[in-house]
Copies of this chain bind each other. A is one copy, B any other.
Amino acid sequence: MNEDISPNYKPFTPETIVDYIRQRPEMGDVFRPTEPLVAEEIGDGNLNLVFRIWAEADKERTVIVKQALPYLRLVGGDWPLPVDRARIEAEALKVEYKLVPQHTPRVYFYDPDMYLFAMQNLNRHIIMRKGLIEGIKYPRFAEHIGLFLARTLGGTSDLALDFKTKKLEVKRFINPDLCKITEDLIFTEPYRYTERNGFHKELEPQVLALQADEKLHVEVAKMKEKFMTQAQALVHGDLHTGSIMINQTETFVIDPEFAYYGPMGFDIGAVIGNLFLNYAAHEVRTPDPAKRADFRKYLTDTVIDLWHVFVREFQPFWDQADPINMPKGYQDDYMLRVLQDSAGLGACKMMRRVIGLAGVADIRGIQDVHERAIAGSLALHIGRSLLLEREQIHTIEDLVEIATACKPTYPWGKTTLS
């Protein structure tokens, strides 16, 4: 799979990356040619090396360098991954930066021999998932992410690009291996027995019921087909709350290495699905009913608001559309399909985070197994309901109503292990 790897490629270390970065002319705005730099490796360790580099004299002059490893570290050399994904990620960031610079880290350069790129260090932000787990509200997030989604999805679709650019962009972002990870981990493995699934014993009855539910399999298969065939827009492809760097005033979306031309609902659904995973986690993470209700209201208001912002910010694409080609009735139908796709695709992302290989800290980070099972059970119910009832969704409020009507069914009465 990596037969075409550059002969010059070598993984860097904190020692070697400093010399390398000092020599790059593109870094002249940040570092002086001879000044001492410091680097540390801060990657979460499964796909890439990530270096934080700063000037010894001034910690605020800093960049991130991300270098692709030719394998998925999580499972060792067994799962080789193309280093080309560094190109995809750097190019996707550049596209996004052009469309929404206020929510995208700046890329300084991409090195096609080393499969790495340097980008803005978001050193005043934290990973959103961590904040949400702690119950921190981000009042500007809905506005920011709605704009990001509208600009990046609308702006890379046939609504904004001419026929040729769009098709050449589809070609440039063909991303087989990373799409395959999604196909397997999101749409395939959660719905069958595999050793890689990571759900906990306590959830087994509910997971086995889902795995035996042919009606559910039919809908998952439709979502998988959509993921595999609908070249609607350049999607980020992994837009969960762990790909968002945030604080009270700013929001940045990082890590688009899974970017490819896919359905818009895959990104919107990822955001909504991850907000509902957090919603489910607070079932046990926030025992105080009033506090819980308050934070959940923040989460569901955020879901509602981000959709309304998305629709508002998407409107310019419709305003410039030819009304004969795309009459109002078509525009409404298009937006409705994006909403229903978001529900269905986001639902699949929720369920896989409970059942499959890669969980989310919101739920898997809950120490007590019974509490973890309660939150997992609720997340699975929300996912299942959003997927099966997505065609009844006509407004974002419908979507929230379906999700918030769900309750955990763990413990299982007499069958429970507790």
Contact B158 A168 (CB under 8 A): no
- Report which A residues bind B (CB closer than 8 A): 158, 163-164, 166-168, 170-171, 174-177, 179-180, 183, 188, 191-192, 214-215, 217-218, 221-222, 224-225, 228-232, 324-330, 333-334
Q: How far is the CB of A115 from chain B (nearest CB, A)?
A: 19
Point out the residue from B174, B180, B217 that lies within 8 Å of A324, measured CB to CB.
B217
Q: How many copies does the complex hold?
A: 2
Task: Tell me, in angstroms, the Cα distance from A79 to B180 when the chains sit together.
Answer: 39
In the assembled complex, which residues on chain B have CB atoms less than 8 Å from the CB atom of A176?
A: 163-164, 167-168
Contact B191 A163 (CB under 8 A): no
Q: How far is the CB of A320 from chain B (nearest CB, A)?
A: 15
Q: How far is the CB of A314 from chain B (nearest CB, A)?
A: 15
- Beta-carbon nearest neighbor of A173 in chain B: B171
Contact A221 B326 (CB under 8 A): yes
In the assembled complex, which residues on chain B have CB atoms less than 8 Å from the CB atom of A188?
A: 325
Task: Tell me, in angstroms, the Cα distance from A176 to B164 when the chains sit together.
Answer: 5
- Beta-carbon nearest neighbor of A177 in chain B: B164
Known contacts A158-B225, A164-B177; decide if A214 and B329 are in contact (CB<8 Å).
yes
Contact A171 B168 (CB under 8 A): no
Known contacts A158-B228, A167-B176; decide if A329 and B192 are in contact (CB<8 Å).
no
Contact A221 B171 (CB under 8 A): no
Task: Tell me, in angstroms, the Cα distance from A178 to B333 when the chains sit together.
Answer: 28
Q: How far is the CB of A192 from chain B (nearest CB, A)?
A: 5
Known contacts A218-B329, A231-B231, A324-B191; decide if A225 and B334 are in contact (CB<8 Å).
yes
- Beta-carbon nearest neighbor of A221 in chain B: B330
Contact A174 B183 (CB under 8 A): no
Known contacts A171-B174, A176-B164, A191-B324; decide if A330 and B230 are in contact (CB<8 Å).
no
Contact B167 A174 (CB under 8 A): yes
In the assembled complex, which residues on chain B have CB atoms less than 8 Å from the CB atom of A168?
A: 174, 176
In the assembled complex, which residues on chain B have CB atoms less than 8 Å from the CB atom of A180?
A: 163-164
In the assembled complex, which residues on chain B have CB atoms less than 8 Å from the CB atom of A163?
A: 176, 179-180, 183
Contact B327 A221 (CB under 8 A): yes
Contact B229 A192 (CB under 8 A): no
In the assembled complex, which residues on chain B have CB atoms less than 8 Å from the CB atom of A325?
A: 188, 191, 217, 221, 224
Q: How far is the CB of A104 from chain B (nearest CB, A)?
A: 24
Q: How far is the CB of A82 from chain B (nearest CB, A)?
A: 10
In the assembled complex, which residues on chain B have CB atoms less than 8 Å from the CB atom of A158?
A: 225, 228-229
